[in-house]
Structure 1
């Protein structure tokens, strides 16, 4: 079988059985330009982000922020059980404020978790307060209508 491309300076004769050869630089070398067979790759040091005062990485997450978010989220299903979610919602709000204060002081992570705990906790407290107001109004309507007769 003859080589359809012919022989030339950029296309030397091939012994690859008719298949085209991989890229070969006219400067010598291997398949990739600038790489010589047997050459070792240069190892670069791995980049590690360093926060001043915290060797080897970023500061840890704030435990109070985690507790705030977990308690506030746990209060959602508990609030459907006759208001048992009020205590975890209040604790989630308190822990969220404490976590925000600690993070301003020591620079730990977890601001998003503390904010989530505060938002969910305040929303649940507001919804439960509205539910109590509606319950009181609903229970007092029959009493008010019976007293007017």
Structure 2
């Protein structure tokens, strides 16, 4: 193309040479075609928080009295109910947060029951 000619130039052809056949552009996709780049639903904030609290609980839950683990369990159950219908993503993160939370929360709860619960049952007035 030149500045004066707005139309694309035709490639030079030798005399006696047949013109190039017309090649059509890309065809539209077939009916019902789903592209591979479908946008995923937004991730649930509760699922992310549950996973973060579960990791914090595993790493330092023993020095924080298991509070991050209990938060991971609560937030994980909220996230599971939020991601159940598929409008929000993060179902796997919610399950991972629940598992990490329960790994420390259940033994902490059992230790608390046996350590403090037994002392109150044995004390007779």
Q: Does 1:67 align with 2:49?
A: yes
2:100 aligns with one of 120, 130, 136 = 120
Give the aligned partner of residue 76 of structure 1: 58
8 Å contact kept, 1:74–1:85: no
Give the TM-score, by structure 1 length: 0.49
Q: Does 1:98 align with 2:81?
A: no
Which runs of 5 or more structure 1 residues have no equivalent in the other structure? 1-39, 51-56, 141-149
Superposed CA offset, 1:15-44 (max 9, x none): xxxxxxxxxxxxxxxxxxxxxxxxx9x667
Determine helix, strand or coil for the equivalent of 1:107.
coil
Task: Check 1:72–1:125 CA distance in 2 against 1; reply closer, same or farther (3 A cut).
Answer: same
8 Å contact kept, 1:77–1:85: no
Q: Please tell me whether Structure 1 or Structure 2 has the larger radius of gyration of its CA atoms.
A: 1
Larger RCO of the pair (alpha carbons < 8 Å, separation 6+): 2
Q: CA deviation at 1:108?
A: 1.3
Which runs of 5 or more structure 2 residues have no equivalent in the other structure? 1-22, 30-34, 120-125
Q: CA deviation at 1:58?
A: 1.4
Q: How many residues align?
A: 92
Q: Distance in 1 between matches of 2:83 and 2:49?
A: 14
8 Å contact kept, 2:61–2:67: no
Q: Distance in 2 between matches of 1:99 and 1:133?
A: 28
Q: CA deviation at 1:133?
A: 5.7
CA RMSD of superposed structures (Å): 3.2
Q: CA deviation at 1:127?
A: 2.1
Q: Distance in 2 between matches of 1:129 and 1:105?
A: 32
Task: Check 1:129–1:77 CA distance in 2 against 1; reply closer, same or farther (3 A cut).
Answer: same
